[in-house]
């Protein structure tokens, strides 16, 4: 056995791909899931060496129960912790409810903090690795993903400090910054209850509504063209096993374009985005009458 690793958000996508890969390579995988159905599916995908663990990263009782279980199974040593769980809400900043913003940060930021805090003593005992799956959005924010990008910016900063704090204890910390990958996240639209335009002026709400549909269609296209999550899982595996792991791993087909765009100064970037959005919105807006009624 190569060691033990806990993966949050392991029921699908990158987390599941990673769990399968590590299990096949001889790791003992504790795969964090949030439902009995997910646990059954993950159990069927892994060998008898590994097991699903009920772990909602926003539930302190489940975090503690998972910590106790892993400590008992491993003798208090955990070679790898992979913080992978996350959610995304795509919407204009002002269109999201306060509750949705809190939920975004509760899962993507506080969840990473809470799980890491709970399991870090086990990782230190093994002089192991902490891996956090962030996003390329931690470096570049596009229209309609501002709150998600903000959560990933926060994660990037937290991982930076954690890496510096833990190196003296023999714990190596790496941040994974994926671009788009073919996971179920692209089929998960922002729930209607997370949106609030009741106080928004009518013309603003109309523009946002059209833009939101454009964003959702773009997400469908991106998801269909994105590479398989196994490619990102391979990078995470490298971060877990390399003798000298890198502080950051950036992976994906779209990342270089995004990073190049992020380097543009605002005087160049802002008019470019405004022009592109206005052109698309004009094409999608209801046609205005161009002829005048006879007098």
Our answer to whether residue 148 is catalytic in this structure is yes
Alpha carbons 149 and 9: distance in angstroms, whole number: 19
Q: Which of 89, 148, 208, 249 is catalytic?
A: 148
How is residue 274 written in tokens? 């405004």
Catalytic residues: 148
């Amino acid at each position: 056995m190569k060691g033990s690793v806990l993966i949050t958000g392991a029921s699908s996508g990158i987390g599941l791909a990673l769990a399968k890969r590590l299990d096949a390579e001889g790791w003992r995988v504790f795969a964090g899931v949030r439902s009995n159905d997910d646990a059954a599916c993950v159990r069927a995908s892994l060998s008898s060496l590994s097991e699903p663990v009920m772990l909602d990263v926003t539930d302190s009782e489940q975090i503690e129960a998972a910590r106790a279980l892993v400590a008992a199974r491993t003798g208090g040593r955990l070679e790898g912790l992979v913080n992978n769980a996350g959610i995304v809400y795509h919407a204009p900043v002002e269109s999201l409810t306060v509750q949705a913003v809190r939920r975004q940060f509760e899962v993507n930021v506080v969840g990473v903090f809470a799980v890491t805090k709970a399991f870090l003593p086990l990782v230190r005992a093994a002089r192991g690795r902490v891996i956090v799956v962030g996003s390329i959005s931690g470096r570049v924010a596009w229209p309609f993903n501002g709150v998600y990008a903000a959560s990933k910016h926060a994660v990037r900063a937290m991982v930076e400090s954690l890496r510096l704090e833990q190196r003296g204890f023999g714990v190596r910390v790496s941040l994974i910054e994926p671009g788009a990958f073919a996971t179920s996240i692209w089929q998960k639209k922002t729930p209607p209850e997370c949106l609030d335009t009741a106080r928004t002026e009518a013309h603003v709400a109309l523009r946002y509504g059209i833009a939101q549909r454009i964003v959702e269609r773009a997400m469908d296209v991106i998801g269909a063209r994105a590479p398989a999550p196994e490619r990102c899982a391979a990078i995470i595996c490298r971060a877990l096993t390399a003798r000298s792991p890198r502080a950051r791993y950036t992976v994906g087909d779209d990342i270089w374009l995004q990073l190049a765009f992020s380097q543009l100064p605002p005087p160049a970037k802002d008019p470019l985005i405004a022009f592109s959005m206005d052109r698309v919105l004009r094409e999608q807006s209801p046609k205005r009458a161009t002829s005048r009624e006879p007098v």
